[in-house]
Amino acid sequence: MKNLLDIVDRAARDEGGGPVRVVHLRIGEMAGVSEDALRFAFDVMAKGTAAEGASLEVEKVPLRIRCAGCGSNSNPADFVFICPECGSRDVEILAGREMEVDYILVGDGSAESENRGG
Partner 1 sequence: MHEIRIGEDLREKNEAIADENRKLLAAKKIVSINVMSAPGAGKTSLLFRTIPMIRKKHAVGVIEGDIQTATDAEKIATLGVPVYQIETGGVCHLDAAMVHSALHQLDLDSIDLLFIENVGNLVCPAEFDLGEDARVMLLSVSEGDDKPKKYPLMFRESRLLLLNKMDLAPYVSFDVEKARRETLEINPKLDIIEISCVTGAGLDRWVSWIDAFIETARRR
Task: List residues binding partner 1 (CB under 8 A).
Answer: 3-4, 7-8, 11-12, 15, 17, 21, 30-34, 78-82, 89-90, 98-111, 113-114
Which helix H or strand E contains 66, and what residues bound it? strand 64-67
Cβ atoms of residues 64 and 94 within 8 Å: yes
Query: Among residues 43 and 102, whose Cβ is nearest to partner 1?
Result: 102
Task: Compute the residue count for the chain.
Answer: 118
Which helix H or strand E contains 94, and what residues bound it? strand 91-95
Closest separation in Å from C-beta 79 to partner 1: 4
Query: Among residues 33 and 72, whose Cβ is nearest to partner 1?
Result: 33
